[in-house]
Amino acid sequence: MSNFEVIKQDKISSARIGRLITEQGVVQTPCFMPVATNGTVKALSSEELKEIGVEIIIANAYHLSQRPGVKIIQEAGGLHRFMNWDGVLATDSGGFQIFSLENVKIKDDRAIFHSLEDGREQSLTPEESIRIQERLGANLLMTLDYCPRRWDDQKEISRSTEVTIRWAKQCRQVEISPRKWLFAIIQGGISLECRSECTRALTQLDFDGYAIGGLSLGEPFCETLRVVRLVTQQIPWKKPRYFMGLGYPWQILAMVSSGVDIFDCALPTHIARNGSAITSQGKINIKAGRYRSQFQPLDPNCECFVCRRYTRAYLRHLFNRKEILGLRLVSYHNLYLMQRFMERIRQAISSGNFTEFSQQAKKEYNNRLSPKTND
Amino acid sequence: MSNFEVIKQDKISSARIGRLITEQGVVQTPCFMPVATNGTVKALSSEELKEIGVEIIIANAYHLSQRPGVKIIQEAGGLHRFMNWDGVLATDSGGFQIFSLENVKIKDDRAIFHSLEDGREQSLTPEESIRIQERLGANLLMTLDYCPRRWDDQKEISRSTEVTIRWAKQCRQVEISPRKWLFAIIQGGISLECRSECTRALTQLDFDGYAIGGLSLGEPFCETLRVVRLVTQQIPWKKPRYFMGLGYPWQILAMVSSGVDIFDCALPTHIARNGSAITSQGKINIKAGRYRSQFQPLDPNCECFVCRRYTRAYLRHLFNRKEILGLRLVSYHNLYLMQRFMERIRQAISSGNFTEFSQQAKKEYNNRLSPKTND
């Protein structure tokens, strides 16, 4: 029996704190899910994720079904045991990944595509996607959606909305354990009409939660926000809302303020492998020459083991020599920082000063973090 | 004041247990030093090395002097602080690395070579090498030696013996803190005459310890053993003996049996990055298809955290997907296994059953470990 408790709502914004009570444990929201596409959060161990305080991660059912295959993971006793993760586990259906392949064909009841592994033609129905996720042992499952490739192709967006609704219905009819969460993914690009239509149709199907997909694809951030504000108003208040694929702290603040509860993003570990650290003073790239002899931590305000024990100069040296330890340590720091950031958000909402916190935090983790944005 | 205590000698072989008492702590011998060429044991953190029980590591003064440079490491407070390592730290002078460069010229008092970084001509005198190592903060320093490129070029070997002796004298004259250990490197290829000459000359200079260099370069293992047996008999009994660049457990057993106290080798972490694990049942490469659905640990007899928590199937999957966690975990296991292996050697010598242990262990970590060998 899925159970989401909204514990407190902010008086000024739509921000709220909640608890997602799952068969595998409780997740406090707003939360950030590190991405474990292949059943591993890149460069980090499951032990480190626990140490950092991560309560939930998200793996990718499509990728895992390709390699090592569902059968092996089932034989291992499920993905939790396979990857030695005892926290809550979400899986994405893989719609986003399938639609990024070449030559995807959309039939009414399935997607047809060519395997990246061996080029063979494969197909995936919404029902199969759910069954795969259940066999993997996920606690939180996602419907198969049609994620348009571009945010500004209205024709594809209309079609993706229509298909996404139809597939969500197919997913809804699959019988899964009532102890698992099934989230529907809302598509519709930046068209408020499509988003409304999709949200209305999916909420009528009464899913356990709702994800907002197909954003963060390059559209202006003000459009992203407009869509999220519309959608979160239409999703029943008691249902958790999940924004797929975000992001930087200042972006998360804007979304929390609009009532989003759950986030995921490969960004903190992705940029870490390139030497970029998220800090309370903005983003820094540790490979830059100016860090050569800076003997302070990556982030002087951070208490992670990396910041307590290693200097910028050492981290720069490791990157300079292409030493794996460098990207390990920065990945750890970035995820630690994201977890502490979400904690701070929850505390601020809890103590009724989210707006002040938000203004302050935007200054700290400031826009240098994402120079491309126009918000 | 360098101080090496031989605690017990085996009755049958020349194996012995000892304690290397340094300014930075005590090292129990026989010991294996993980290699931290660039100031990091590849893929592992200093915290993990401590957890594994590593007491001493060896970094490379030449590489570190190139990047990040001695100045930065000094500013950081020395290499211990730079890399957050509070155990004992040895540095190799870098002779081996310099002689693997193209166009090295050997003058009587220095080596001249081209920087790998920018191609500039550089030179290094034996005195400079020692001063660099002292500035890095090493506890155990190595003389600059001339390491021949080939084991079977007698002309080069004669010259390398002569130069190595001359340079060792130059190193000996550098004043360093009496609390630091200075080891001389013995060269001479597989020529017993050259080895004898070199050992005699270097022991007359009364170094704190002696390293046997220029072996494990492809020569037959029976020749390696012959040289080591000769040399260890000529080195004063009270001085520690260090074999540079070995190796697999069964090779180490043979050397311990000949009276060697210290080993180092990049092999356990090097092969790990390629998926090879050293186990008590021989070497396995986890990338092989047969491990696809083996849900037992890498080594059923190992108690490291990797073997306690992760399966072969998961590790294979990580390598198959080129996930960094895979090589991290196998690197950890291999070094853990080497440390436990050295512990078992020390226990066996201590309890007077080294010969039995050695026979048993050769079977366990058997010759599949190194199919090339002809010993």
Domain ranges, ordered by start, for chain A: 3-265, 276-353
List of chain A residues whose C-beta atoms are within 8 Å of the C-beta of residue B39 = 314, 317
CA distance B241 to chain A (A): 31
Q: Confidence band (pLDDT; 50, 70, 90) for B2?
A: low
Nearest CA in chain B to A293: B72
Lowest mean pLDDT among A117-121, B38-42, B105-109: A117-121
**Beta-carbon pairs below 8 A across chains A and B:** 109
Give me the pLDDT at residue A363, please: 87
Q: Confidence band (pLDDT; 50, 70, 90) for A101?
A: confident
Question: Which pair of tokens denotes residue B225?
Answer: 């053993």
DSSP state letter for B184: E
CB contact under 8 A, B83 and A313: no
d(CA A128, CA A98): 14
Torsion of CA A310, A314, A319, A321, to 10 degrees: -140
CB contact under 8 A, B45 and A325: yes
Please name the residue ranges forming H helices in A21-153. 46-52, 61-66, 70-75, 79-82, 95-98, 126-136
How many CA atoms lie within 13 Å of B322's alpha carbon, on the beta-carbon side? 0
> Sign of torsion, CA B226 B227 B233 B234?
positive
d(CA B26, CA A120): 60
Q: Which residue has the tokens 């390990």?
A: A328
Residue whose C-alpha is closest to residue B227's, from B189, B263, B185, B184:
B189
Residue in B75, B318, B320 closest to A293 by CB:
B75
Radius of gyration (Cα) for chain B, nearest Å? 20
- Evaluate if residue A369 carries a pLDDT over 70: no
CB contact under 8 A, A82 and B311: yes
Q: pTM of this prediction?
A: 0.96
Which residues, in sequence order, are CB contacts of B288 under 8 Å at separation 6+?
Answer: B316
CB contact under 8 A, B324 and A43: yes
Percent of chain A with pLDDT over 90: 89
Q: Confidence band (pLDDT; 50, 70, 90) for B1?
A: low
Lowest mean pLDDT among A337-341, B315-319, B366-370: B366-370
Give me the pLDDT at residue B117, please: 79
Q: What is the mean pLDDT of residues B221-244?
A: 97
What are φ and ψ of residue A58, in 5° steps?
Answer: -125, 125
- What are the beta bridge partners of residue A56? A88
d(CA A186, CA A157): 12
Q: What does the mean pLDDT of chain B come to?
A: 95
- Evaluate if residue A2 carries a pLDDT over 80: no
Residues of A with CB under 8 A from a CB of B: 38-40, 42-47, 67-68, 72, 75-77, 82-84, 292-293, 295, 305, 309-311, 313-314, 316-318, 320-321, 323-325, 327-329
Cα separation values, B45 from A251, A293, B50, B112, Å = 32, 21, 9, 34
Radius of gyration (Cα) for chain A, nearest Å? 20
Nearest CA in chain A to B291: A72
The pairing of beta strand A276-279 with beta strand B31-36: unpaired
Q: What is the mean pLDDT of residues A339-349?
A: 98
Q: Confidence band (pLDDT; 50, 70, 90) for B371?
A: very low
What are φ and ψ of residue A168, in 5° steps?
Answer: -60, -40
d(CA A170, CA A127): 6
Residue whose C-alpha is closest to residue B292's, from B325, B318, B317, B329:
B317
DSSP state letter for A248: -
d(CA B97, CA B148): 11
Residue whose C-alpha is closest to residue B129's, from B82, B97, B162, B84:
B97
Give me the pLDDT at residue B363, please: 87
Contact B139, B24 (CB under 8 A): yes
- Please identify every residue of A annotated as catalytic: 92, 264
CA–centroid distance for B128 within its chain: 22
- Evaluate if residue B375 carries a pLDDT over 60: no
Give me the pLDDT at residue B367, please: 53
Q: N- to C-terminal Cα distance for chain A?
A: 40
pLDDT: which is higher, A149 or A168: A168
d(CA B144, CA B152): 21
What are φ and ψ of residue B285, in 5° steps?
Answer: -105, 115
Q: Confidence band (pLDDT; 50, 70, 90) for B102?
A: confident
Give pLDDT tens digits for B9-20: 999 999 999 999
Question: Which pair of tokens denotes residue A213?
Answer: 């997909």
d(CA A176, CA A93): 15
- What are the beta bridge partners of residue B3? B21
Residue in A75, A313, A325 closest to B44 by CB:
A325
Question: Which pair of tokens denotes residue B38?
Answer: 């660039």
Residues of B with CB under 8 A from a CB of A: 38-40, 42-47, 67-68, 72, 75-76, 82-84, 292-293, 295, 305, 309-311, 313-314, 316-318, 320-321, 323-325, 327-329
d(CA A158, CA A31): 31
Torsion of CA B243, B244, B248, B253, to 10 degrees: 0
What are φ and ψ of residue B152, in 5° steps?
Answer: -115, 20
Cα separation values, B104 from B111, B151, B233, Å = 7, 18, 33
Q: Amino acid identity, residue A341?
A: F
Which residues, in sequence order, are CB contacts of A263 under 8 Å at separation 6+?
Answer: A30, A31, A32, A33, A242, A243, A246, A247, A252, A255
d(CA A88, CA A79): 11
Give pLDDT tens digits for B185-213: 999 999 999 999 999 999 999 999 999 99
Active site residue B109: no
Helix (H) or strand (E) holding B27: strand B25-29
Residue whose C-alpha is closest to residue A313's, from B71, B116, B41:
B71
Give pLDDT tens digits for B144-169: 999 998 899 999 999 999 999 999 99
d(CA B49, CA A337): 25
d(CA B82, CA B36): 13
Q: Report cis status (omega within 30 of 0) of the bond before B371.
A: no
The number of residues in chain B equals 375
Instruction: Judge residue B81's burial from the number of C-beta atoms within 10 Å of its C-beta, 0-12 exposed, 13-18 middle, 19 or more buried.
Output: middle
Beta strands in A67-223 (DSSP E): 88-92, 105-106, 111-114, 121-124, 140-142, 181-186, 209-212
Helix (H) or strand (E) holding A6: strand A3-9
Nearest CA in chain A to B38: A321
Question: Which pair of tokens denotes residue A371?
Answer: 């120079």
- What are the beta bridge partners of residue A31? A262
- Angle ∠(A304,B337,B359) on CA atoms, nearest 5: 170
What are φ and ψ of residue A30, in 5° steps?
Answer: -60, 140
DSSP state letter for A280: B
Q: What is the mean pLDDT of residues A125-151?
A: 96
Give me the pLDDT at residue A157, please: 96
Q: What is the mean pLDDT of residues B291-300?
A: 97
- Evaluate if residue A1 carries a pLDDT over 80: no
Residue in A40, A72, A317 closest to B325 by CB:
A40
Q: What does the mean pLDDT of chain A come to?
A: 95
- Which residue out of A45, A62, A294, A298 would a mutagenesis test of the B interface target, given it has the greatest number of B Cβ atoms within 10 Å? A45
Residue in B67, B316, B323 closest to A321 by CB:
B67
CB contact under 8 A, A317 and B42: no
> Under CATH, what is the fold of the domain B3-265?
TIM Barrel (3.20.20)
d(CA A239, CA A242): 10
Q: What is the mean pLDDT of residues B290-298?
A: 97
Give me the pLDDT at residue A374, please: 33
CB contact under 8 A, A314 and B46: no
CB contact under 8 A, A82 and B313: yes
List of chain A residues whose C-beta atoms are within 8 Å of the C-beta of residue B290 = none
Give pLDDT tens digits for A267-320: 999 999 999 999 998 999 999 999 999 999 999 999 999 999 999 999 999 999
List of chain B residues whose C-beta atoms are within 8 Å of the C-beta of residue A83 = 314
CB contact under 8 A, A325 and B295: no
Contact B279, B298 (CB under 8 A): yes
Cα separation values, B11 from B15, B46, B230, B353, B355, Å = 8, 37, 19, 9, 9
- Angle ∠(A316,A317,A323) on CA atoms, nearest 5: 105
Percent of chain B with pLDDT over 90: 89
Give me the pLDDT at residue B185, please: 98
CB contact under 8 A, B47 and A305: yes
d(CA A65, CA A53): 28
List of chain B residues whose C-beta atoms are within 8 Å of the C-beta of residue A82 = 311, 313-314, 317
Residue whose C-alpha is closest to residue A31's, from A237, A228, A252:
A252
